[in-house]
Structure 1
């Protein structure tokens, strides 16, 4: 047996984090437009995703989603439905993080698209049928499919 196989890496401390966000749609035109955010990964590649962020103490998931969407896109929205929950794991700063994100569908109610948030490199309105092509994460692409069904069912 090799010496390397006998050495065990120390277990990283586990941290649970909860976030909320969602897909905010501008329904004023001929087809719905969704606001996406672009963040640069460690390699400098722009990855598009749905806006989201940490739930603050005392906030509901819905309140956090409305606040985070506004902070990251500049768009204020009203919740019109639930898209679902995603959970995933990652390692950062010597910790194993289990993140749970609650996503909602929102209708744009005001504001102006803006990338002023320091965590956001770009923001864009994207036609609803094209959003899944732009999103970097398959879990979020599945949520956009849920949004399309919610809109179709409510029409």
Structure 2
């Protein structure tokens, strides 16, 4: 007769529980709930804007806005904003550029869509910004019609150097795309 081997438990052995583990509720469903971090809500946002170009003193120029960042510092950026109910990204780009700069423009083409994440006010925000190239039909700058009063100033900057003044790398890349499209190179 052959010797029988002892029966092994099919259960996975658990590490010994310490007094601290018992106090914290480790290895219990109640403890797992206590140690589980709540999920931060995710919000989807879509914005549109872009480069509105004009010949200012015979120089191809772009309308940009100055606004304050979360730290209260002034930063130059391309005009853009949220889509309103039922609005297309193209409609929003034209409206936002007009509100933030006073410039009426017509869309020439789509340049790029930027997709990024950031956190704020206890939530994670997934944002997509559609950037368009627009031809200026008016040239006088004003920030007086900005309903959110985010734009503190607006200026025409030469397309050749505007990227040097923009706060965001993604917007600098969008300017590069526009320069290539307009055959202005880098």
Q: Which runs of 5+ in 1 are unaligned?
A: none
Match of 2:70, SS state, is coil
TM-score, structure 2 as length reference: 0.75
Q: Post-superposition shift, 1:39?
A: 1.0
The answer (yes or no) to whether the contact 1:27–1:107 under 8 Å persists in 2 is: no
- Cα distance between partner residues in 2 of 1:29 and 1:7: 64
**1:66 corresponding residue in structure 2:** 94
- Cα distance between partner residues in 1 of 2:56 and 2:151: 25
Q: Which runs of 5+ in 2 are unaligned?
A: 1-23, 25-33
TM-score, structure 1 as length reference: 0.89
**How many residues get paired?**
149
Match of 1:75, SS state, is coil
- Cα distance between partner residues in 2 of 1:51 and 1:9: 37
* Cα deviation digits, residues 46-82 of structure 1 (max 9, x gap): 1111111111122111111000000111101011111
- Cα distance between partner residues in 2 of 1:33 and 1:121: 19
**1:148 corresponding residue in structure 2:** 179
Alignment RMSD, CA only?
1.8
Greater RCO, 1 or 2 (C-alpha within 8 Å, sep 6+): 1
* Cα deviation digits, residues 83-113 of structure 1 (max 9, x gap): 1000111112211110000000011101520
Instruction: Give every structure 1 segment of 4 or more consecutive aligned residues whose post-TM-superposition deviation is greater than 3 Å.
Output: 6-9
Alignment of 1:62-141 (within 5 A): 62-110=90-138, 112-116=140-144, 117=146, 118-141=149-172
